[in-house]
């Protein structure tokens, strides 16, 4: 199939979630039986109980892939989002926020129960975020809901690992990969969390072995979990041999990218105070992909990612609060 010029820079498929973010001390985390800094799935009853126990919070439309698109759109990229909300108030809030950010969103709202997904995020004084996610309607994204024309018209299809867990959206994402490949487009995938990898390691390794993934995003823990080794360099080398682009963030140690075997590195951008690490990886991906879409070199892509990540950890919430275009102009 001949490849036409894409209308979108990035189209993402991910959880359509509204984040509820509140501060909490470590005693509260322990009392609730959570592991600080982790993400766990909860059911509707747990979501209600935890919400009632949490302190005052702020509500922001979120979801990993949607956060990345929000950053990309601010950086001038043309984006589209595919994700499932319910026909309820939070679903309307999410759809409004996405569209207001200049992102195309055509997925029809799902009727009835369950309600729109929400993530209850507790931020401890050390800026670590502990996420409790009720997937709600987002886990019922069917392949029939895909905007196939949008996927085929995107230079990069970006998939969120968190959404691989439920069966229905997993099938939808497999279909989306096929559509992107048929159109001659690139597929990017973010591993999202070690708990997701533990459940779906064989699937992810199979996708990599099949050549289905062109750009793989991970952090230091995730890449080790994928390859089941604590040796960072071994995990990186094993994975990089099978994907054209491997991007690994390393918190205060910066980030690396291996492109067709060539290694690039960037340092973490200095920051006076880390307030909330929620969305750091999401916005790093936004900066990196924005540079890639613009045809920039890999070193600049990494620098843009680091600058965007620094911005997001300087405040509560996973959506940027400054002009990202002006911010990355220094890259």
> What pLDDT, on the 0 to 100 scale, is given for residue 1?
43
207-258 pLDDT, tens digit per residue, is 999 999 999 999 999 999 999 999 999 999 999 999 999 999 999 999 999 9
5-27 pLDDT, tens digit per residue, is 899 999 999 999 988 889 999 99
Neighbours of 38 (CB within 10 A): 15
- Distance, CA of 64 to CA of 68 (rounded, Å): 6
Matching residue, tokens 């747990």: 46
Q: If 0-12 CB within 10 Å is exposed, 13-18 middle and 19+ buried, where does residue 132 land? A: buried
Average pLDDT on 294-320 reads 91
> What pLDDT, on the 0 to 100 scale, is given for residue 318?
74
Three-class SS state of 300: helix
Which pLDDT band, with edges at 50, 70 and 90, does 57 fall under? confident
- Distance, CA of 196 to CA of 194 (rounded, Å): 5
76-113 pLDDT, tens digit per residue, is 999 999 999 999 988 998 999 999 999 999 999 999 88
- Distance, CA of 120 to CA of 131 (rounded, Å): 6
Output the average pLDDT for the chain: 93
> What pLDDT, on the 0 to 100 scale, is given for residue 224?
97
- Distance, CA of 244 to CA of 215 (rounded, Å): 6
- Distance, CA of 179 to CA of 103 (rounded, Å): 20
Higher per-residue pLDDT: 325 or 296: 296
- Ramachandran bin of 136, using left for φ above 0, alpha for ψ from -120 to 50, beta for the remaining angles: left
117-172 pLDDT, tens digit per residue, is 988 999 999 888 898 989 899 999 999 999 999 999 999 999 999 999 889 999 99
> What pLDDT, on the 0 to 100 scale, is given for residue 2?
44
Q: Which residues of 310-320 are buried (b: 16+ CB within 10 A; e: fewer)?
A: bbbbbebbbbb
- With a cut of 80, say whether residue 330 has pLDDT above it: no
> What pLDDT, on the 0 to 100 scale, is given for residue 277?
80
Q: What is the CATH code for 8-15+63-114+137-329?
A: 3.40.1190.20
Which pLDDT band, with edges at 50, 70 and 90, does 3 fall under? low
Where does the chain show beta strands of DSSP type E?
Answer: 8-13, 17-23, 39-41, 57-62, 79-82, 104-105, 117-123, 129-134, 154-160, 186-190, 215-219, 245-249, 255-259, 262-266
> What pLDDT, on the 0 to 100 scale, is given for residue 301?
97
Q: For the chain, give the number of residues.
A: 331
Q: Where are the domains of the chain?
A: 8-15+63-114+137-329
- Distance, CA of 205 to CA of 242 (rounded, Å): 10
> What pLDDT, on the 0 to 100 scale, is given for residue 59?
81
Which pLDDT band, with edges at 50, 70 and 90, does 204 fall under? very high
Average pLDDT on 184-208 reads 96
β-bridge mates for residue 191, sequence order? none
Question: How many secondary structure helices (H) and strands (E) does the chain include?
Answer: 12, 14
> What pLDDT, on the 0 to 100 scale, is given for residue 78?
98
- With a cut of 90, say whether residue 288 has pLDDT above it: yes
Lowest mean pLDDT among 23-32, 36-45, 71-80: 36-45
């Amino acid at each position: 199939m001949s490849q036409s010029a894409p209308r979108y820079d990035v189209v993402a498929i991910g959880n359509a979630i509204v984040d509820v973010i509140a501060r909490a001390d470590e005693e509260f985390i322990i009392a609730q039986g959570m592991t600080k800094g982790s993400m766990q799935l909860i059911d509707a009853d747990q979501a209600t109980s935890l919400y009632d126990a949490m302190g005052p919070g702020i509500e922001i439309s979120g979801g990993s892939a949607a956060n990345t698109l929000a950053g990309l759109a601010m950086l001038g990229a043309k984006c589209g989002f595919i994700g499932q909300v319910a026909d309820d108030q939070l679903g309307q809030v999410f759809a409004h926020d996405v569209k207001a950010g200049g992102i195309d969103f055509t997925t029809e709202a799902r009727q009835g129960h369950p309600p729109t997904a929400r993530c209850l995020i507790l931020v401890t004084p050390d800026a670590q975020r502990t996420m409790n996610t009720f997937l709600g309607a987002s886990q019922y994204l069917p392949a029939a809901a895909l905007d196939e024309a949008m996927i085929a018209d995107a230079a990069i299809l970006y998939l969120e690992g968190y959404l691989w867990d439920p069966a229905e959206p997993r099938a939808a994402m497999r279909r989306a990969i096929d559509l992107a490949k048929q159109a001659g487009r690139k597929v990017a995938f973010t591993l999202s969390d070690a708990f997701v990898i533990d459940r779906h390691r064989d699937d992810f390794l199979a996708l990599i072995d099949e050549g289905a993934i062109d750009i793989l995003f991970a952090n230091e823990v995730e890449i080790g979990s994928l390859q089941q080794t604590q040796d960072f360099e071994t995990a990186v080398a094993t994975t990089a041999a099978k994907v054209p682009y491997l991007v690994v963030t390393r918190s205060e140690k910066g980030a690396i990218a291996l492109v067709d075997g060539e290694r690039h590195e960037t340092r973490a951008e200095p920051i006076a105070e880390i307030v909330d690490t929620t969305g750091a990886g999401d916005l790093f991906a936004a900066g990196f992909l924005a540079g890639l879409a613009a045809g920039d070199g890999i070193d600049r892509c990494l620098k843009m990612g680091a600058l965007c990540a620094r911005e997001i950890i300087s405040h509560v919430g996973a959506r940027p609060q400054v002009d990202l275009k002006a911010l990355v102009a220094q890259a």
